[in-house]
Amino acid sequence: MTIPELLDGLFPAGHAVAREGDVLAGTGRASAGEVAVVGIAGGAEVGVEAALALAGELLRVVREAPGRPVLALVDTAGQRMSLRDELLGLNGYLGHLAATVELARQSGHKVVALVTGQAVSAGALALGFVADEVHALEGARLAVMALPAMARVTKIPLERLERLSAGSPVLAPGLESFVRLGAIASIWRPPLAPHLEAALARPAAPDARAALGAERGGRTLALEVSRRVASGAGALPAAPGARRVGESGPRRGGGDGR
Amino acid sequence: MSPGGPLVPRRSYREASARRRILGVLDPGSFEERLGPAERVTSPHLAALDQPVAFDDGVVVGAGTLEGRPVLAASQEGAFLGGGVGEVHGAKLAGLLAAALRDRPAAVLLLLDTGGVRLQEANAGLVAVSEVMRGVLAARAAGVPVLALVGGGWGCFGGMGIVARCCDAIAMSEEGRLGLSGPDVIEETRGVEELDASDRGLVWRTYGGKHRWLIGEADLLVEDDLDAFRAAATALLGTRRPIDLAALSSEHALLAARLAEHGGAADAAAIWGGLGVAAPAALPLLEVDEFLRAVAGARRGTR
């Protein structure tokens, strides 16, 4: 689906969204009124310029259009990996972007994210995954990292990873995995406008993704663990002689950033 | 080491375990762990990969005091899977931040030592990092300061590098590196021509505490010492970076100016020169106090 087709589907009453580079900004008309549209398009990598432009657009919306709901369109292959971006502090630019989403939320703007193409790793985090609700178009491709790269970093043979990831929402890249984990609330199929209208009409609520992940069976422990820690449970002395691998285990990395 | 002072051996923050760090930063005897190793809540996903588990899933969380003030704190164990965030690890962090909304501590301290998402449970880790991010921002919006300490052997990378910059303030050592894509990942993805991960000088100039502090990414630069990190956390206790239009507009202006002024720089030393540092090439070798004297007035920052 091209961007104009997508926007026609979401806003049959009209829209005015400009694309500058890979950044989308503008408005669409929903039945309840104008909706601010921001987004990253074309499966682009998010570098410092795009992160700053997106944050600037969100600040402008908060300043000039109090309370206007926000639709964040996400299609990114991840963060731009370059020495220049790291020198300038890309993590700081993306942290700033996430904070502007929070500002919008705190200022009464409902923020709905829609994954329209790819949503990979850190590119998706700071705009999409901090929205009030995150949905995805059918066919969207979500991932942290492709399995071959994952095999290299974790030193787990690729064939083994492929075998293990089949049916595992925790390992297998793909939309279905993220639905089961609770990260994607729902999949939108045409006609798109009713989905958007329904999302805009729902009041913003606290982060319920862990509960959704438990309900859908994709994350069996996250909700319980988070609740136990939040309630102050588990303040027990360590059992003598308990074997703790954590402090003496093999020094083996496995992060997305290192 | 202070000249002329008694020769007290430093206790390296970088070399300490996660548990030792949290005990060293908080008031002695004040820390009460939640969901500690005795509870044996381990990752359900590592066994299938024949990977060892940790009874705390690589993160220590709980409550304590700092100079008598109630705080919540978390400390990541870099020695376990590079401090990677998996389902349980991330849920412990998210739960701690949810507790902050209710209990209103003087601060939440995040002692970060992590390569980012734990790839062995990648999808759950990515979602957990985003939940931690929302948790940090929600705590801040509710008026609870969230402070990041970065000084561990893995530094702070991946999605957690973004989380660090969602906090009110960051204290870091030169040794504790901060970024998004680490040197190995960039070399692997883009080739050695883009970034030679074996060039330690380059890696430290790019990700190290001095550079991060100078450009305004970190708020305090501290020695690699447990007491120094405790003092930094104490000094930052009152720090708040409000999530409002004025504060975020200033931050925006700072980031825009950095891009405009230094977007063409090929190396950190060129940025330092651009900031007005007289002898940028000498900075990496200086101790923290010498460094602070050498760069006086050059730092950019709104905080």
Determine whether the interchain pair B55/A257 forms a contact, defined as Cβ–Cβ distance below 8 Å.
no
Contact of B136 with B116, CB cutoff 8 Å: no
- By Cβ distance, the residue of A49, A83, A99 closest to B186 is A83
User: Is the ipTM here above 0.85?
Assistant: yes
Q: Average the pLDDT over each of A31-40, A132-141, A154-163 and give the range with the smallest value.
A: A154-163
Task: Write out residues 171-210 of B within 8 Å (CB-CB) of A.
Answer: 178-182, 184-186, 188-190, 194-195, 206-207
The set of residues, in sequence order, having a beta carbon less than 8 Å from that of A27 and lying 6+ positions away, is A15, A16, A17, A34, A35, A36, A37
Q: Kindly state the tokens that stand for B282.
A: 């000498």
Which of these, B207, B188, B201, B272, lies nearest to A89 by C-alpha position? Answer: B207
Determine whether the interchain pair A255/B58 forms a contact, defined as Cβ–Cβ distance below 8 Å.
no
Q: Which residues of A touch B252 (CB under 8 A)?
A: 52, 55-56, 59, 96, 100
Other beta carbons less than 10 A from residue A239's beta carbon: 12
Q: Rounded to whole angstroms, how far apart are CA atoms B96 and B73?
A: 8
* pLDDT per position as a tens digit, A19-51: 999 999 999 999 999 999 999 999 999 999 999
Task: Write out residues 270-289 of B within 8 Å (CB-CB) of A.
Answer: 271
Determine whether the interchain pair A249/B79 forms a contact, defined as Cβ–Cβ distance below 8 Å.
yes
pLDDT of residue B9: 63
pLDDT of residue A249: 33
A100 pLDDT more than 70: yes
The set of residues, in sequence order, having a beta carbon less than 8 Å from that of B106 and lying 6+ positions away, is B66, B69, B70, B71, B145, B237
Q: Kindly state the tokens that stand for B96.
A: 């701690």
Determine whether the interchain pair A245/B189 forms a contact, defined as Cβ–Cβ distance below 8 Å.
no
Q: Kindly state the tokens that stand for B234.
A: 């104490």
Determine whether the interchain pair A226/B190 forms a contact, defined as Cβ–Cβ distance below 8 Å.
no
Determine whether the interchain pair B244/A103 forms a contact, defined as Cβ–Cβ distance below 8 Å.
yes
pTM: 0.94
Mean model confidence pLDDT for chain A: 90
CA distance A232 to chain B (A): 6
Determine whether the interchain pair B55/A122 forms a contact, defined as Cβ–Cβ distance below 8 Å.
no
**Rounded to 5 degrees, what angle do the CA atoms B142, B147, B150 make?**
155
A122 pLDDT more than 70: yes
Q: Rounded to whole angstroms, how far apart are CA atoms A211 and A239?
A: 31
Determine whether the interchain pair B37/A238 forms a contact, defined as Cβ–Cβ distance below 8 Å.
yes
Q: Rounded to whole angstroms, how far apart are CA atoms B300 and B274?
A: 11
pLDDT of residue A250: 33
Helix then strand then coil, in percent of chain A rounded to 5, is: 40, 25, 35
Q: How many CA atoms lie within 13 A of A12 on its CB side?
A: 10
Give the torsion through C-alpha atoms of A90, A92, A95, A96, to 10 deg: -110
CA distance A67 to chain B (A): 14
**First CA to last CA distance, chain B:** 27
- By Cβ distance, the residue of A62, A92, A246 closest to B56 is A246
Q: Kindly state the tokens that stand for A117.
A: 């193409």
pLDDT of residue A241: 37
Which of these, B223, B102, B36, B33, lies nearest to A206 by C-alpha position? Answer: B102
Determine whether the interchain pair A254/B181 forms a contact, defined as Cβ–Cβ distance below 8 Å.
no
Tell me the pairing of strands B32-34 and A186-188: unpaired
Q: Which residues of A touch B195 (CB under 8 A)?
A: 82-83, 86
Which one of B165, B186, B206, B241 would you mutate to disrupt binding with A, by most A Cβ within 10 Å of its Cβ?
Answer: B165
Residue B143 to residues A98, A162, B103, B107, B251: CA-CA distances in angstroms? 17, 45, 12, 9, 18
In sequence order, what are the beta bridge partners of B33?
Answer: B62
With the C-alpha atoms ordered B115, B118, B123, B127, is the resulting torsion angle positive or negative?
negative
Give the torsion through C-alpha atoms of A55, A60, A63, A68, to 10 deg: -90
- Residue ranges of alpha helices (H) inside chain B are 18-25, 87-103, 122-141, 159-164, 183-190, 200-207, 209-214, 226-236, 245-262, 268-274, 288-294
In sequence order, what are the beta bridge partners of B173?
Answer: B222
Length of chain A: 258
pLDDT of residue B27: 98
Task: Write out residues 78-97 of B within 8 Å (CB-CB) of A.
Answer: 79-84, 87-88, 90-92, 94-96
Q: Averaged in consecutive runs of 10 residues, what is the pLDDT profile of chain B (303 residues)?
A: 55 97 98 96 90 96 98 98 97 98 96 96 97 98 97 98 98 96 92 95 97 97 97 94 97 98 96 95 94 92 68
pLDDT of residue A243: 36
Which of these, A228, A236, A115, lies nearest to A176 by C-alpha position? Answer: A115
